[in-house]
Amino acid sequence: MTTPSTAPADQDRKAPGRPRSARADEAIIDAVLDLFAEGHSADAISIEAVAARAGVGKATIYRRWPNKEALIVDAVTSIKGPVPLVRGESVRDDLIALLSRMGHHQDSRAVKVISCLLPEVQRSTSLHGCYQDVIEPRRQVMREVLQRGVQTGELRADLDIELALSLLSAPVLVQSLLQWNPSVDSQELAARVVDAVLGGIAGPNGR
């Protein structure tokens, strides 16, 4: 009697038309995150290194991602989780819900990965583009909340939407990643930032 062999993560020899292996996807993403968490730069991480760490062939990776940049985008997106949903009942509540998710990751590697990437984002045009691809869907959700607030009168009619995005996001990001000001209590930080910003941008129906 022949003992069945354990299927490898690499699915290079799978039958045509068979669904791609979720196990291989996870192994590849984990390999990228592990390499970043260990301090490897984006330039130093190669498809060969990822394949070796994941236990798959390079062809397996290239069938899923056209290049390294696309793979990095998916890897970083995976630790950020899905784009948050908002209830659409109150601009204040929606903004707090969105900001509360910033800097909070279920993956223990997240802070190391992001800290490793940030300096490179400033040096590399292509990596900066990858970073924008990751955050733009989240930024768009917040943008739509602000636009809705202008329409309902909860926010000022002359609101600079893009500046407001920065005013809301920057304090939470800086505190969560760098603990820039240890005197700032992180408890309820999202609500406190939202209330502080709304004090300047609230419209007639939001006061």
Where is average pLDDT lowest: 4-8, 121-125, 127-131, 133-137?
4-8
Q: Can you tell me the distance from the alpha carbon of 22 to that of 193, in angstroms, rounded to the nearest whole number?
A: 39
pLDDT exceeds 50 at position 14? no
pLDDT of residue 135: 87
The stretch 175-189 carries a mean pLDDT of 79
Where is average pLDDT lowest: 12-21, 63-72, 178-187?
12-21
Residue pLDDT, tens place only, 70-101: 898 888 888 877 777 888 889 999 999 999 88
The stretch 191-199 carries a mean pLDDT of 92
pLDDT exceeds 70 at position 9? no
